[in-house]
């Protein structure tokens, strides 16, 4: 939520001047009465009554006010009012706004020349009544087309406008009036203050979610502002005092602008602003309370007075100039004393209004500006406020003293800066552990660690966080600046807990990352075996230890890596897997040699005769080893040329026997061998003799070899072969 006060809000120059004049004279002891309300604001009227200032609404009974002083308000008054006071010997202080006074002079000159006067304005408005009084009987007031229609056709006329007339009204009626007057002397006397205020109101209303118009309900210029704002912003509210401040139905995303009529005192606007800000904890975007109007008005009035002085040199001012200089004892200061409250220890947001090498002056909305001394900007006071702040910057400050001895409010931002810094440290410790690096100057060794400062804040580094290795004597760090990360905020001891180890670890990790990123899956690397365990061997492949797992050492089953490898042995392996984050590399040795079964069809041709070693006998035959990792089967029927009950009847484990290769199937890992075939072939080669069989001899028909083929996979334990794939 953003809340903003319009630049052109609050007292205009003319009103401020009139109010200040009344206060000054009342405080000097004059018995004052004002002809009519000095402004359309009950708060101000009430305040003036506390100073003894009265108000009269008509000229009856003036004799009772003899000896008192009459004040003509900024709207001005017709000449008969002055005459009535003079007649009764009542002193007059004329606080008519110089811009209104100028209109009086214009219309008076016209009246003296017998020229008609046309006034664009509200017929019953006190300012218009005053102008009309000076213009005489040959004058007309118009405010709409109907009024212009009713005008007689005139040969010549002077045209002026009530100072608070909307410019659009003037532009609307001017061409119509021109049609009625042959020689029209048109003087656009609308006060620039009003124009600026209305322009700003329109602009703000177009860009606001909520418009607050502050001012008296009987103030016509405030009502006009309200109507204007309502046209462009549906959620426009007209409030007269702080109790009416709109606090409900506000959304946190609302953009709220506050504007005020020319008769609204600054303190009231500020009170409305503060009430809303405090209530909703809003974000204040801009806070410029009606200063622009007053300053510009003063400049214009000064220029106007200079022109008038040169035109009528020697003529004495009618007291008006004197009243213009009465701002020192201003009403605002008096009122703000009682309404804008600050207290020691309060945090407020102010605007930097002036900067020197030694101090920054901050407008905090109090009667006096606050001062931030140079010492607030650095620990050693070496930094100039000018190098940190700019005029116009908003700055959060703490009220240290309401009076520094010279009438200024003493401010501090150290605690606020410190609070913000602690929040930053805490956030860093919670969210970004190890992310942000700080420098910590070590100044003390204590039991359990080091003490130092980070940006002036007490910091503790536990001994375990000082290095990657154990440090025997922590004094080696004394006086050194260590780069650290915040790991914790020790609220109880109000100190930061930091780690230098984390930085070292980070650097080490970075180096390792670079090192590890050199290795990729599929690379061949040569390394030295550093250590052998039951499950494999660790190989140093250049600063990185990689694991050669037992299953990746050989295609044949080995019981222990130590059976085939030894520490210090240099081997070339294949990188099977790399995990840089988890720092893991797996190596393979067997993968660099072909699988034994891949070559069997080439090596063991069908029909070839080879020597094999019997490794195992089973009820259906005997397994033999052709080479490590490659076994074949001699079916029981193929062991001899006679019927056998058991393989052991003919051969035994460990025998080397000659066999013929009958079938090779590498995919199924099957090799069928026959010893019997060789025996038969040998017998066939020998000279034939008639075979005689005894009656009891058993005749045995041997089936063809192919029908007897047995798969090795059917008899080997599954794991023995699958694990090698």
Select 300 or 641, whichever has its Cβ closest to ligand F3S: 300
Cβ-Cβ contacts under 8 Å for 71 (sequence gap 6 or more): 18, 21, 22, 25, 32, 33, 34, 35, 38, 53, 92, 93, 95
Select 10 or 14, whichever has its Cβ closest to ligand F3S: 14
Side-by-side strand order, sheet with 154-161: 139-142, 116-120, 154-161, 181-186
Q: 260-274 b/e with 16+ CB inside 10 Å = b?
A: bbbbbbbbbbbbbbb
- What gap in Å lies between CA 253 and CA 244, rounded to an integer? 22
Distance of CA 96 to the CA centre of its chain: 52
461 in Cβ contact with 482 (< 8 Å):
yes
Which residue in the list 68, 83, 123, 127 is annotated as catalytic? 127
- For residue 138, CA distances in Å to 141, 194, 491 come to 11, 28, 83
Select 97 or 129, whichever has its Cβ closest to ligand F3S: 97
CB of residue 224 to ligand F3S, shortest distance in Å:
12
CB of residue 38 to ligand F3S, shortest distance in Å:
11
CB of residue 26 to ligand F3S, shortest distance in Å:
20
Cross-strand pairs, 715: none
- What gap in Å lies between CA 620 and CA 647, rounded to an integer? 8
CB of residue 294 to ligand F3S, shortest distance in Å:
9
Select 14 or 350, whichever has its Cβ closest to ligand F3S: 14
Q: What residue is closest to ligand F3S based on CB? A: 14
CB of residue 50 to ligand F3S, shortest distance in Å:
24
- For residue 395, CA distances in Å to 218, 278, 408 come to 38, 17, 17
- What gap in Å lies between CA 38 and CA 79, rounded to an integer? 18
Select 194 or 465, whichever has its Cβ closest to ligand F3S: 194
535 in Cβ contact with 485 (< 8 Å):
no
CB of residue 105 to ligand F3S, shortest distance in Å:
14
User: What six digits make up the tokens of 514?
Assistant: 């670079």
CB of residue 92 to ligand F3S, shortest distance in Å:
18
Which contiguous run of DSSP H or E holds residue 167? Answer: helix 167-180
- Under DSSP, the state recorded for 699 is P
CB of residue 78 to ligand F3S, shortest distance in Å:
17
CA dihedral 345, 346, 352, 353 (to 10 degrees): -90
Select 319 or 588, whichever has its Cβ closest to ligand F3S: 319
DSSP character string of 61-111:
TGGGGTTSEEEE-TT---HHHHHHHHHTT-EEEE---HHHHHHHHHHHHHH
Q: Is 162 exposed, middle or buried (0-12, 13-18, 19+ CB in 10 A)?
A: buried
In whole angstroms, how large is the CA radius of gyration of the chain?
Answer: 54
127 among known catalytic residues? yes
CB neighbourhood size of 596 (10 A): 19
Select 11 or 438, whichever has its Cβ closest to ligand F3S: 11
Instruction: Give the closest residue to 397 by CA, choosing from 380, 425, 416, 377.
Output: 416
- What gap in Å lies between CA 641 and CA 618, rounded to an integer? 18
499 in Cβ contact with 484 (< 8 Å):
yes
CB of residue 194 to ligand F3S, shortest distance in Å:
5
- What gap in Å lies between CA 69 and CA 319, rounded to an integer? 13
- Binding residues (CB under 6 A) for ligand F3S: these are 12-15, 74, 97, 99-100, 163-164, 191, 193-194, 262, 297
CB of residue 359 to ligand F3S, shortest distance in Å:
35
Select 76 or 536, whichever has its Cβ closest to ligand F3S: 76
CB of residue 396 to ligand F3S, shortest distance in Å:
35
Select 69 or 96, whichever has its Cβ closest to ligand F3S: 96
53 in Cβ contact with 113 (< 8 Å):
no
User: What six digits make up the tokens of 128?
Assistant: 């218009």
Select 100 or 633, whichever has its Cβ closest to ligand F3S: 100
Select 245 or 323, whichever has its Cβ closest to ligand F3S: 323
Instruction: Give the closest residue to 95 by CA, choosing from 292, 314, 326.
Output: 326
Give the angle subtended at the CA of 260 by the CAs of 255 and 264, to the nearest 5°. 145
What positions carry a catalytic annotation?
A: 127
């Amino acid at each position: 939520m953003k809340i903003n006060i319009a630049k052109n809000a609050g007292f205009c120059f003319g009103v401020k001047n009139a109010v200040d004049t009344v206060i000054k004279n009342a405080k000097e002891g004059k018995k004052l009465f004002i002809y009519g309300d000095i402004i359309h604001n009950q708060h101000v009227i009430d305040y003036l009554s506390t100073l003894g200032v009265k108000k009269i609404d008509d000229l009856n009974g003036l004799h009772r006010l003899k000896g008192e002083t009459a004040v003509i308000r900024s709207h001005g008054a017709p000449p008969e009012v002055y005459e009535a006071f003079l007649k009764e010997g009542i002193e007059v202080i004329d606080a008519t706004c110089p811009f209104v006074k100028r209109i009086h002079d214009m219309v008076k000159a016209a009246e003296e020349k017998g020229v008609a006067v046309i006034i664009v304005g509200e017929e019953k408005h006190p300012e218009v009544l005053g102008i009309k009084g000076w213009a005489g009987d040959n004058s007309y007031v118009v405010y709409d087309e109907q009024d212009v229609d009713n005008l007689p056709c005139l040969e010549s006329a002077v045209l002026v406008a009530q100072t608070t007339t909307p410019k659009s009204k003037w532009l609307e009626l001017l061409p119509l009036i021109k049609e009625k007057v042959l020689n029209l002397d048109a003087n656009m006397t609308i006060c620039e203050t009003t124009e600026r205020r209305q322009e700003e109101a329109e602009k703000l209303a177009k860009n606001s979610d909520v418009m607050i118009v502050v001012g008296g309900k009987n103030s016509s210029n405030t009502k006009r502002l309200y109507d204007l704002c309502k046209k462009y912003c549906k959620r426009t509210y007209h409030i007269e005092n702080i109790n009416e401040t709109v606090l409900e139905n506000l959304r946190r995303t609302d953009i709220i602008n506050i504007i005020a009529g020319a008769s609204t005192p600054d303190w009231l606007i500020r009170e409305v602003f503060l009430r809303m800000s405090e209530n909703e904890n809003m974000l204040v975007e801009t806070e410029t309370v009606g200063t622009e109007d007053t300053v510009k008005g003063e400049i214009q009035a000064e220029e106007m007075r200079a022109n008038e002085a040169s035109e009528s040199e020697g003529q004495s001012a009618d007291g008006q100039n004197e009243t213009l200089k009465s701002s020192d004892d201003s009403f605002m200061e008096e009122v703000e004393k009682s309404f804008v409250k600050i207290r020691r220890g309060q945090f407020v947001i102010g605007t930097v209004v002036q900067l020197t090498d030694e101090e920054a002056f901050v407008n905090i909305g109090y009667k006096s500006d606050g001062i931030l001394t140079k010492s607030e900007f650095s620990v050693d006071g070496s930094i100039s406020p000018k190098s940190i702040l700019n005029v116009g910057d908003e700055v959060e400050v703490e009220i240290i003293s309401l009076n520094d001895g010279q009438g200024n409010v003493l401010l501090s931002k150290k605690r606020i800066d410190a609070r913000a810094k602690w929040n930053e440290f805490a956030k860093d410790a919670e969210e970004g552990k190890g992310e942000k690096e700080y420098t910590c100057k070590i100044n003390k060794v204590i039991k359990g660690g080091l003490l130092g400062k980070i940006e002036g804040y007490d910091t503790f580094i536990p001994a375990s966080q000082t290095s990657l290795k154990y440090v025997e004597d922590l004094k080696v760090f004394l006086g050194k600046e260590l780069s650290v990360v915040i790991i914790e905020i020790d609220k109880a001891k109000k100190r930061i807990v930091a780690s230098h180890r984390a930085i070292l670890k980070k650097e080490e990790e970075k180096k390792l990352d670079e090192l590890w990123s050199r290795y990729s899956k599929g690379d061949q690397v040569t390394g030295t075996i550093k250590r052998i365990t039951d499950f494999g061997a660790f190989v140093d492949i250049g600063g990185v230890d990689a694991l050669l797992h037992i299953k990746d050492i050989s295609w044949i089953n080995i019981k222990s890596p130590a059976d085939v490898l030894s520490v210090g042995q240099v081997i070339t392996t294949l990188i099977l897997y790399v995990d840089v984050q988890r720092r893991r590399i797996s190596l393979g040795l067997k993968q660099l040699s072909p699988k034994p079964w891949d070559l069997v069809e080439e090596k063991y041709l069908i029909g070839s005769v080879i020597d094999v070693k019997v490794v195992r006998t089973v009820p259906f035959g005997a397994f033999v080893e052709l080479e490590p990792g490659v076994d074949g089967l001699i079916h029981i029927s193929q062991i001899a040329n006679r019927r056998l009950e058991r393989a052991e009847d003919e051969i035994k484990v460990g025998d080397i026997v000659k066999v013929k290769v009958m079938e090779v199937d590498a995919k199924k890992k099957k090799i069928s061998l026959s010893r019997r075939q060789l025996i038969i072939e040998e017998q066939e080669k020998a000279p034939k003799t008639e075979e005689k069989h005894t009656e009891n001899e058993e005749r045995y028909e041997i089936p063809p070899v192919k029908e007897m083929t047995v798969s090795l996979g059917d008899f080997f334990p599954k794991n023995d072969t699958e694990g090698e794939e």
